[in-house]
Structure 1
Amino acid sequence: MHHPDATPRRSIYFDYRVRAPSPAVPTDAPVLIVGGGPIGLTTALLLAQQGVRCRLLMADLQVSEGSRAIVFTRRSMEILQQAGVADAVAAQGLAWRFGNSFYRGQRVFRMEAPFPEDDRFAPMTNLQQQVLEELLIARIAAEPRVELCWGHKLVALHRNDAGGAEIEVDTPAGPYRQPAAWVVAADGARSTLRQLCALKLEGAAYEGRFVIADIRVDLPLPTERLAFFDPDWNRGNTVLMHREPQGIWRIDYQLPPGEDPADALRPEALKARIDAQLAMIGHAGVPWEMDWSSVYSARALTLPDYVHHRVCFVGDAAHLLPIFGVRGANTGFQDAQNMAWKLGLVVRGLAGPALLASYNHERVAAAREIVDEAGKSTRFMTPPTRGFRLLRDAVLSLSLTQAFVRPLYHWRTSRPHDYLDSPLNSGAGPAGDPLPNLKLGEGDHLLDRVADGAVVLMTTAPRADLDDVLQRWQARGLRCSALALPALERLGMADGHAWLLRPDQHVAARWQTVDAATLDTAIATLLGGPAPC
């Protein structure tokens, strides 16, 4: 019998709430989501927007321990806007756009993320993961299509005679068996579903280990990323710092090769190193208090396929990415958004297997691209061989006097993937990129106006022939609409242009002019199938 911990987790700034275990009763929801971190919770909300009921299994009785993922990109904020929590995240989080790299006490590189004045969200927003999880849970409480099950732990997976899946769940009240048409694996880096499906991640695991330490300390520093290379107290290694809300600072420091992680987390070891870091930045002796600490290693791994029979993998269950460049959770949000609308249409019978195959095509390609980019950052932060270390140390030394090498410090921040080669694309121009969230007026941004489902953006007056196409698709059950806009120079939309948006706000087609038959075919292509007869 499953016995989740019912003792509230300790924190000096966050009050952990322990929920009562949910009843051990099966449901007829067509989708089961395993894992209640930010990615699983967001997936549930986005599936509900598609009209799909789902049950989300939470093995614990409280949200995750520690701050964990803390930096959310502009694109993640746009996805969280679609899920209905972005305003709350922005209100509680800390916005920022600059990153600084230091070597021997000198700032040798300053990264500036673009922040056009007409964008709604800052390039980065810092907020602790457990705070975000509570915001998502509060949003789910108002969503009748999502059932959150606390204390329900997946223990086995089977196929059923109907072609779907059946899982065994253990709870404090005893086990039960749960059928489902589809299962979403959002159960993290140690994914039980990945193990039950006997799937292996591909890529590289790096030897370098880092301690994460969250401390409460009063530092008169701006909200900017700080990276310190080869500091005197941690020679040959790297230290990172981030400001978090509520007076918390994250310090990540690399451990010397061979050090036992358990030894590194001893209170006296943590204190000595944190004191040394604070002294190095000019704040020796400043009082501080520990909240949470952990150890992680850098990995750049992905499954080769994110759809396995009736199981769809998202987030860390699908891939493990280095945190350098804030790629972990931010990549997972893009998985969730991409997968949710496609699975929703498949469950509702509006699309076939080809649409979910496009999830695999698009997101595995994105992960492999990120693995390549993250590998470059990781090899600079934690050189895996003597040769890479010699190269990195040469860059460090030259950067003190030679400006041309300093861009090598750039940490290749997580960015939205462009699905340029997606099988869902059509039209006369390039497609696959996400729609910028442009400011249209005071308090009015483009994504505020984009409805759920497929959307046709037009810079012409409403046209009866195009409206007829949309009404025919609506009659089949597809959510689709038209949005009239003025010509927008930044988008490259001139008078007469039209674009087709996917439900995840990526552009599926661009036209200078479009007729009804072309739009009809593009919508069919968007659903992964041939043009309707």
Structure 2
Amino acid sequence: MHLPSTEPRFSLYYDYKIHQPWLASQHAPQDRKQVVIVGAGPSGLVTALELARLGVSCVVVTAELQVSQGSRALAFTRRSMEILQQVGIDERMTEAGLPWRFGNSYYRGKRVFRMEAPYDVNDRFYPLINVQQQYMEEFLHDACKANPLIDFRWGNKVVQVEQKEGYVELVVDTPEGTYSLETQWLVAADGGRSGIRAALGLEMEGTSYEGKFVIADIKIDLPLPTERMAFFAPEWNPGNTILMHREPHGIWRLDYQLPEGEDPDEALKPESIKARIDAQLAMIGYADKTWELDWCSVYSARTLTLPDYVHDNILFTGDAAHLLPIFGVRGANTGFQDGQSLAWHLAFVVKGLASRKLLENYSAERVTAAREIIEEAGKSTRFMTPPSRGFHLLRDAVLSLSLTQAFVRPLYHWRTSRPHEYTHSALNSMGDDNALFQAGPAHGAPPKNVRLGADNYLLDYLGGGFDLLYFTQNQTVPESIMTVVRQARAKGIPLNVVGIGPGLEIAGADKTINDASGAIRGCYGVNNHGAAYLLRPDQHICARWINLDAMRLQMALNTALPQ
């Protein structure tokens, strides 16, 4: 019998709520579900909300009765906020968070590198925003609770998984005992220690680094800006690295590397944590400041991924699919992209709009993304936590030279997480004009946002299906193109037409955007009338044309939805 804790987690700033467990005795007998999602973290909840937005019901089960403890995932990127806008929690995130765009690296008391993340007038969101994970999970849960297509079950722990012919059978344990649950598709979003991954005997590929970090949230008043600070090889922690971030509610996050061979349990003892945090505060000139510990943990850097995220009717996402180092804010931010991608691929298969080849594409794209991240993150990880004597010598040389030589300082760059571009996706149209464009987002790229006015941006008009951006000076979308659109809709394909023109209402378009200034045309490299972009439901570009005709639109849709 599964008995999750009913004691609220400790926190100096967050009020943990205990939710009531879902009990089978209080509900009708369970029929087979379309989708069951195991795990209520970032990737699982985004998957649920995006599935619901596309009309697919799901059950979300989590073993706990409350959201996660500690800040954990803290810094969220602009692209993550654009995804969270799609699921309806961006305003709450913005109200709760601290935006920022600068990162600083220090060595021997000198700032040797300052990173500035790009930000311009077309960006609705800052490059990064700090919000503790508890709040993000609370906002996502509230959105799930408000959606009738999402059945959220607290206190339900999956203890057995068995693949059947065309479906999956689960045994779920609760405070009153177990019950059976069948589902056509099972999404494993159960984190880095995935029980489903272990039950299937799946092995990840990649590298686990020896370096370990203590992560500690402390309540303290420091008159410092919301910027990332990295300290290399300080006197109190020679050869190692310390990171600092400001969090909302007067909390600061410290990540400090442990000396090689130190027992993590010893490192988490109160006297050890106090000595090291006091030393760090003294080093930056705030030894007189009092502080309280809110939460602490230990983590190690790992760059691992499953080679395939689809195993019959079980699909992996987030940390259950891959384990990435936090340097460059890659954990939850990658999980959001996983969830958004998985949801639309799975929804179109569930609704019979594409064959399961589409799920193979999900795996291919996201495994490629994970490997790209691993390659980049590995560089950052080897700099932050050198895995060998040779890497230590190289890192020490960079540190020393950076005091006087500007050319080595960019090596401190932490390679911030960015959305993967599906440049070689099988869903990209081969019969379009992608190669003829001189500017604008190309095949597989995420969309560029464009500011249209006060609190009015291009991405506000997109989402919920395929989007056809049609650029025209006329007052109508050609009938031949609208015929293809109507035929697609008749099959159940959500296809939204966004007309972009000089301001007049465009007949046939679901929405018309005034681009008399040419701002959108400029960002999308459009120089003539009749140009168009086709965006997938995750908003990545799958086709673009200098001149669109009906046949090429149909070809692009056929490619994006393999039968």
TM-score by length of 2: 0.93
Match of 2:155 among 143, 151, 156: 151
Measured after TM superposition, the shift of residue 38 of structure 1 is 1.6
User: What SS does the corresponding residue of 1:398 show, helix, strand or coil?
Assistant: helix
Q: How does 1:22-421 map to 2 (within 5 A)?
A: 22-24=22-24, 26-161=30-165, 163-421=166-424
Aligned counterpart in structure 1 of residue 466 of structure 2, from 437, 454, 457: 454
> Which 4+ residue blocks in structure 1 deviate beyond 4 angstroms?
none
More off after superposition, 489-498 vs 226-235: 489-498
What stretches of structure 2 of length at least 5 have no aligned partner?
435-441, 501-514
C-alpha distance in 2, partners of 1:56/1:16?
20
> Hey, what's the Cα distance between the residues in 2 that align with 1:85 and 1:451?
15
The yes-or-no answer on 1:521 pairing with 2:526 is: no
Q: Residue 489 of structure 1: SS of its match in structure 2?
A: helix
Q: Which amino acid aligns with 1:508?
A: C
Counterpart of 1:477? 492
How far apart in 1 are the matches of 2:485 and 2:114? 48
What is the rounded CA distance, in whole Å, between the counterparts of 2:368 and 2:163 in structure 1?
28
Alpha-carbon offset, residue 514 of structure 1: 1.0
**2:12 & 2:481 partners in 1: Cα distance?**
57
Q: AA paired with 1:7? A: E
1:498 to 532, 548, 557: 532
Mean CA deviation greater in 7-16 or 426-435? 426-435
CA contact (8 A) 2:32 2:184 kept: no
Q: For residues 100 and 31 of structure 2, what CA distance do their matches in structure 1 show?
A: 43
Is the Cα–Cα contact under 8 Å of residues 169 and 183 in structure 2 kept in the other structure? yes
Aligned residue type for 2:107: Y
The equivalences for 1:412-431 within 5 A come to 412-426=415-429, 427-429=432-434, 430-431=442-443
| CA distance in 2: counterparts of 1:443 and 1:495, whole angstroms | 28
Once the 2 structures are TM-superposed, how far is the Cα of residue 175 of structure 1 from its aligned partner? 0.4
The number of equivalent residue pairs is 528
Deviation at 1:137, TM superposition (A): 0.9
Q: Does the residue aligned with 2:522 lie in a helix, a strand or coil?
A: coil
Tell me how far 1:480 sits from its aligned partner: 0.4
Letter in 2 for 1:261: P
Residue of structure 1 in register with 2:510 after alignment: none
Structure 1 position 440 matched with structure 2 position 452:
yes
Q: In structure 2, what is the Cα distance between the partners aligned to 1:38 and 1:501?
A: 24
Q: For residue 234 of structure 1, give the secondary structure of its aligned residue in structure 2.
A: coil
SS at match of 2:43: helix
Amino acid of the residue matched to residue 98 of structure 2? L
Query: Do 1:459 and 1:494's aligned partners in 2 also have CA atoms closer than 8 Å?
Result: no
| Residue in 1 that maps onto 2:13 | 13
Checking the alignment, whether the CA contact within 8 Å between 1:423 and 1:528 is kept in structure 2 is no
Give the Cα–Cα distance (whole angstroms) in 1 for the partners of residues 10 and 256 of structure 2. Answer: 23
CA distance in 2, matches of 1:200, 1:125: 34
Amino acid at match of 1:442: A
The CA deviation at 1:494 is: 2.8
1:312-367 Cα deviation digits (max 9, x unpaired): 11110000000000011111111111110010010011110111111011110010
Deviations 1:473-519 (A, max 9, x none): 10111110110123421221233210100000000101000111110
The answer to whether the 8 Å contact 1:433/1:506 transfers is yes
Question: What amino acid does structure 1 have at the position aligned with 2:445?
Answer: D
Deviations 1:199-240 (A, max 9, x none): 101000000000000001000000000000001100000000
Q: Is the 8 A contact 2:86 2:463 kept in 1?
A: no
Are the equivalent residues in 2 in contact too, given 1:238–1:253 (CA < 8 A)?
yes
Aligned-residue offset at 1:101: 0.2
Q: Does 1:489 align with 2:522?
A: yes
Distance 1:126 1:29 in 2: 36
Supply the distance in 2 between the matched residues of 1:409 and 1:241 (Cα, whole angstroms). 15
Root mean square deviation of aligned Cα: 0.9
Q: Distance in 1 between matches of 2:562 and 2:406?
A: 49
User: CA–CA distance in 2 between the matches of 1:3 and 1:41?
Assistant: 23
TM-score normalized with structure 1 length: 0.98
Please report how far the alpha carbon of residue 451 of structure 1 lies from its aligned counterpart in structure 2 after TM superposition.
Answer: 3.6
Kindly indicate whether the alpha-carbon contact (under 8 Å) linking 1:74 and 1:122 is maintained by their aligned counterparts in 2.
Answer: yes
Q: In 2, are the aligned partners of 1:44 and 1:56 still within 8 Å (CA)?
A: yes
Distance 1:27 1:303 in 2: 31
Fraction of identical pairs, as percent: 58
The one-letter amino acid of 1:13's match is Y
Distance 2:448 2:546 in 1: 19
C-alpha displacement of 1:27: 4.6
Quick check: 2:191–2:319 contact (8 Å CA) kept in 1? yes
1:112-160 Cα shifts (integer Å, max 9, x gaps): 0000111101000100001100011111121000010010001111122
1:57, 1:152 within 8 Å by CA — same for their partners in 2? yes
CA distance in 2, matches of 1:459, 1:515: 13
Query: Which residue does 2:505 correspond to in 1?
Result: none
Q: Which amino acid aligns with 1:527?
A: L
The CA deviation string for residues 7-34 of structure 1, in whole angstroms up to 9 with x for no partner, is 1100010010011111225354300000
Distance 2:187 2:97 in 1: 29
Corresponding residue SS for 1:181: strand
Secondary structure at the aligned position of 1:304 is classed as coil
In structure 2, distance between residues paired with 1:117 and 1:246: 28
CA separation in 1, counterparts of 2:142 and 2:449?
Answer: 25
